[in-house]
Amino acid sequence: MNEPKDKTPPHYNQAVQPIEYIMANDLGFCEGSIVKYVTRWEAKGGVDDLKKIIHFCEFLINKAESKDDSRIRVV
């Protein structure tokens, strides 16, 4: 972000930005979304962000449980 510090939303004030961690660790979409939401939930989305984390975890659980199934079940 190139915004001045005083205009930067509080959920961007992290020692390590989620995108930097996500890219450095080559995380997938669901894993990256979990990192993003868990990092910012208190400063931005509150309980809604925690629910999004659960939603993305359910996708990963579904994928892990159905490795032999080429279809992904919607949870």
Give residue 17's pLDDT. Answer: 92
Q: Is residue 48 part of a domain?
A: yes
Q: Is residue 44 part of a domain?
A: yes
Give residue 34's pLDDT. Answer: 98
Q: Is residue 2 part of a domain?
A: no
Q: For residue range 11-55, what is the model confidence (pLDDT) as tens digits?
A: 677 788 999 999 999 999 999 999 999 999 999 999 999 999 999
Q: Is residue 20 part of a domain?
A: yes
Counted domains in the chain: 1
DSSP annotation string for 22-67: HHHTT--HHHHHHHHHHHHTTTTTTHHHHHHHHHHHHHHHHHHHTT
Domain coverage including residue 59: 12-65
Give residue 15's pLDDT. Answer: 80
Q: Is residue 73 part of a domain?
A: no
- Report pTM: 0.74
